[in-house]
Amino acid sequence: MIDLTIHRQGLEHNIRIARENGVVIPTFENMIHPETVPQPIRDRLTHVGLWDVDPANLFRITWKNEPVPTGGLYRSAPNYIELPPALTGVPARILCLPGKWFPTGCHKVGASFGCLAPRLVTGQFDASSQKAVWPSTGNYCRGGAFNSKLLGVHGVAILPAGMSQERFDWLASIDADVIKTPGCESNVKEIFDKTNELSRDPSCMIFNQFAEMGNHLWHYKVTGAAVAEAFEDAKRPGDRLAGACFTSGSAGTIGCGDYLKEVYPAMKLAVGEAVQCPTILNNGFGDHRVEGIGDKHVPWIHDVKNTD
């Protein structure tokens, strides 16, 4: 699924840069089971804010962070909230996994890690001579730029000029190069026109979430396990995992659905698409719109009670 061919020279450069910056790279196992995080890292995290530019925050790429802005460690179960029937009007228990308690406030910091880390540990990306380019309408490039900074990598964010000034200010604060393309969140083509231009520069490596299997794999392994664990934590006698709903974008979070279908074969999967800004249409992959809730901060809805 992912090319793990070792490029020895690049790997040696990356190891040197990691040592110089005090970087320890977490494994997917650390993210799924943060109780495996080494004690020295845990001790360090008690003095680090959730959004701090500190390599220790690589170990906060997990759904199990304590919901506090600084000094937190981990919960035994993923963070989730329940929407009761009195609120939703349907006879089902619905759980949502919020991304707020990731560094940068969004799970895209995990998806972008899943793209960059394999290239670093194989040496296919050389941190001494290359830039990591993150094309996105928003949260993916923020996650990629944040991970780049923590890993000692030169990050480049490409996003529409019409995004919020707060977003541009934050990217500048972590020393990311910023390229503004014409338009707003719906102007995806303009982002990739610039991306295609940069792809001809050998010093730039493009991390396109629509083409990177690391995006899908991170959600398959880490998010899939988190959703299953949240269901098992919340379920009552007679409950079953009847379905999961995702909103489509780059097909990353849908990787979680592959995992869930393996664990709960009888469950159903549903996919929504934002009418106002449909990703599939904007990327030229088709003209079929699916009414949905948008690819923002509440991407997973699941756990339907076993009722007749």
Q: What pLDDT does residue 29 have?
A: 98
Exposure of 183 by Cβ count < 10 A (0-12 exposed, 13-18 middle, 19+ buried)? middle
Q: What pLDDT does residue 280 have?
A: 52
0.85 surpassed by pTM: yes
Calpha distance 212→242 (Å, rounded): 30
Residue 234 identity: A
Tens of pLDDT, residue by residue, the chain (308 residues): 789 999 999 999 999 999 999 999 999 999 999 999 999 999 999 999 999 999 999 999 999 999 999 999 999 999 999 998 999 999 999 999 999 999 999 999 999 999 999 999 999 999 999 999 999 987 999 999 999 999 999 999 999 999 999 999 999 999 999 999 999 888 889 999 999 999 999 999 999 998 999 999 999 999 999 999 999 999 999 999 999 998 877 777 888 999 999 999 999 999 888 777 666 544 443 333 333 333 333 333 333 333 22
Residues 6+ apart with CB under 8 A from 300: 95, 96, 97, 223, 227, 244, 245, 246, 253, 256
With contact defined as beta carbons under 8 Å apart, do 241 and 229 qualify? Answer: no
Residue 24 φ/ψ, nearest 5 degrees: -120, 130
From the list 282, 256, 294, the residue with the least C-alpha distance to 78 is 256
Domain map of the chain by residue range?
81-103+213-302
From the list 126, 47, 143, 107, the residue with the least C-alpha distance to 256 is 107
- CA quadruple 289, 295, 298, 300: dihedral, nearest 10: 60
Q: What pLDDT does residue 286 have?
A: 36
Q: What pLDDT does residue 253 have?
A: 84
Strand duo 154-160 + 204-206: pairing: unpaired
Strand duo 204-206 + 177-181: pairing: unpaired
Q: What pLDDT does residue 278 have?
A: 63
